[in-house]
Amino acid sequence: MQTTDIGYWSVPLAIVGGAIRVSTPFIFVSLGETITERAGRANIGLEGILIFGAMSAYATAVLSNSPWLGVAAAGVSGIAAGLLHGWICKFPRVNDIAIGIALMLLGTGLAFFFGKAFIQPSAPRLPAISLGFWSDIPQLRAALDVNALFVIGAALAVFLQWAFRNTRAGLILRTVGDSSDAARAMGIDPDRVRLLATAAGGGLAAIGGGYLSLYYPGSWNESISSGQGLMAVALVVFSRWNPLGCFAAALLFGGAGALGPALQSVGVTHGYYLFYAAPYALTLAIMIATSSPGRALAGAPCELSITR
C-alpha cells in the first residue's frame, strides 16, 4: 500500500483510528461492569479476567484455528471467573472489592501460567470490516478498518440501554441493585441475581480480552493488557452506570491511549513514557472531577459498595 504524505494530520487521524481500535476492550469491560454494578456488586477483578480471557481466546484460536471459537472460549472462561466471584461474595462478611483484588492477581497468574506455551505460535486474527472503502488515502482506510467486535459492542451498548429500562430482567437487576430488601419482598433472591450479573460481567470482560489477543494488538504476551480492565471499571462510575455513556467514554479512552504511539510515529519521542501514562492520568482526573463528597452520585445503585 502506497502511503500519501499527510504530515501532522496523521496525529488526529491516528487518534480517531486508535479510538475505534483501542476502545473495543474498554467497551466490553465497562458494559460488563455496568451489568454487575447495576445489581449492586462491584467486581474490580475484571482486569484479571480480561487477561485470562485474552490468553484463553488466543490458545483456543491457535489450537482450533478459529478466532471466533477463541472468542467463545474467552467468554466461557470469563463467565466461570464471574461465577466464582459472585458465589464467594454471597457469604456474609466477604468483601467484594477484596475478592476483586484477589481475582485480579489469580487471573493474571493463571493466564501467565497456562499462556507460557502460546507466546510463540501465531493465532488466526479476527476479520476486519473496511468502512474506509470510499477514500483514496491509505491511512484513512487503515484507520477505518473496524472489527466486528466493535460493532457488536456498540449494538450491545444500545441494547443494554434499552433493556435496563424496558425488560423484566432489566427491572429486576435494577431493583436488586437499589434495594436488596425491596427485591426480597418481591420474592427475588438478590444473591442469585448478583451471581448471574457478575457472571455476565465476567464473560463480557473476557471477550474484551479476546479482542486484545486476537485483533489489536493481536498477539499474546505477558504485557497484553496495561490496565484496560481497571480503567474500564473506573469509566463505569464516570458514565454513571449508563451503557451509552460507557460507549462514549470508551471511545474517549481509546483516543487517549492512541496519543502516545501516534506522536511517536511523527517523531515526537521526548517524554514517550509520559504520553503512555495519559490514559491513567485522564481516568484519575475524570474520577476526581466527577466524584464528590457529601452527596450520593446521581444514578449510583444504592447497594453498591464502591461509591460509599
Does residue 121 touch another protein according to CB under 8 A? no
Q: Return d(Cα 257, Cα 176) in angstroms, integer.
A: 35
Of residues 273, 272, 266, 233, the one with CA closest to residue 249 = 233
Residue 140: DSSP 8-state:
H
Q: Return d(Cα 241, Cα 280) in angstroms, integer.
A: 20
| Binding-site member from 65, 95, 135, 265 for another protein (CB under 8 A) | 95
Of residues 216, 256, 207, 252, the one with CA closest to residue 51 = 207
Q: How far is the CB of 2 from another protein (least distance, A)?
A: 35
Q: How far is the CB of 147 from another protein (least distance, A)?
A: 25
Q: Return d(Cα 221, Cα 262) in angstroms, integer.
A: 22
The three grid cell numbers given for residue 268, joined into one nine-digit string: 515526537
**Angle 274-280-283 from CA coordinates, rounded to 5°:** 135
Q: How far is the CB of 131 from another protein (least distance, A)?
A: 32
By CB under 8 A, how many residues form the interface with another protein?
50
**Residue 209 phi, psi dihedral angles, 5° rounding:** -65, -40
| Binding-site member from 8, 9, 105, 162 for another protein (CB under 8 A) | 105
| Binding-site member from 12, 121, 127, 271 for another protein (CB under 8 A) | 271
Does residue 298 touch another protein according to CB under 8 A? no
Segment interacting with another protein, rule: CB under 8 A, options 14-22, 69-77, 206-214, 224-232: 224-232
Q: How far is the CB of 62 from another protein (least distance, A)?
A: 17
In the window 237-266, what residues touch another protein (CB under 8 A)?
237
Contact 94, 212 (CB under 8 A): no
In the window 75-94, what residues touch another protein (CB under 8 A)?
84, 88, 91-94
Does residue 274 touch another protein according to CB under 8 A? yes
